Every structure is written in structure tokens, then in C-alpha cells.
Structure 1
Amino acid sequence: MSIGLGVVLFVIGAILAFALHVEVDWISLPLVGYILMAAGVVVFILGLAFLMRRRKTISTSHTSVDPRSGEAIRRDETSAPDDGV
């Protein structure tokens, strides 16, 4: 969701900064556009960072002894956390 929000903020900011040529006395629309574009980039980068952080794998190792032979048995499991994707 945050990646999409970053793109939307950037697009709205670009429209205000470059495509809209309306003079308003009480606000500078190009400045608001540049601020929205900067906020969109920040939100996009934070969204990517949180997405990469969520995709870590979990590795588990179990060691047990076989009761019949007395040998050590090692079992390794690797899984990714379920993030609903």
C-alpha cells in the first residue's frame, strides 16, 4: 500500500508542479507539487524498505539421537514468514 501511495503522491505533485498553470494568490502550486513529489519519493523508499525487511527467511535446525542406532540425526528447515501474499 505504501508503494502505491508514494507513486500517487509523486504523480499528483508532478501534475501540480509541471502541468497545471493556474495562479492562486494564497498558495504556490508548483511549491506544493515539489513537496508532494518529495513526500512520494520518501514514502516509496520506506515502502520498499519495509517490504524487503518482511521477506526474510527463517532457518531452524534440530538435532536428535536415534534411539536404535545411537547416531545423531540433524534436520534443517527453511521457511519464509507468511505475509498474506
Structure 2
Amino acid sequence: MGIGGCIGLIAVGAILTFAVDWQVAGINLDVAGLIMMAVGIIGLASYVSILKRRRVQPPPPGAPVVEVEDHDRYYR
């Protein structure tokens, strides 16, 4: 579920909770809307945190290690 799905879930949950006055037998639409909004918020937060972790660039490497051979020790 991407960002659009999470925002859509939050919007549908808000509509069910705050804008609809239907009475459905066996379902409390206010609670269903609150659950949908909570799931959308949790999904959005997890998606953003994963996206943030993916976009973190590794630090640039330090100066390259140059190995210097000590020729003097071979010619003594």
C-alpha cells in the first residue's frame, strides 16, 4: 500500500466517521471509520519511514588508502 492508498484509507475513514449518518445493522460506521483512519496513519508512517531509510545516502568514502612500499629495507 503506497502513499495514495494510505491517504485514501484515511479519507474514507474520515468520511465514514464524520460525514455519514447511516445506520447499518451489525456495523458501527463510526468505529469502522476510526479503524480505517488508524490503519491509514500507521501505514503512512511506516511507508514514509521505509522510504526515508532507502533514500539515505552512505557517507562518502574517506581518502583512498595508498600503500607505500619501503624499497630501502630490501636494498640494505
Scaled to the shorter chain, the TM-score interval is 0.7 to 0.9
What residue is the counterpart of 2:33 in the other structure? 33
Q: 1:3, 1:44 within 8 Å by CA — same for their partners in 2?
A: yes
- Where relative contact order (Cα < 8 A, 6+ residues apart) is larger, the structure is 2
TM-score (norm 2): 0.75
Runs of 5+ unmatched residues, structure 2: 69-76
Q: CA RMSD in A?
A: 1.9
Structure 1 runs of 4+ aligned residues shifted over 6 Å read none
Deviations 1:11-56 (CA, angstroms, capped at 9, x unpaired): 0000110111110111111110000000011001001100110011
Please say if 1:60 is aligned against 2:61: yes
Query: Shift of residue 5 of structure 1?
Result: 1.7
* More helix by percentage: 2
Identical amino acids, percent of aligned pairs: 33
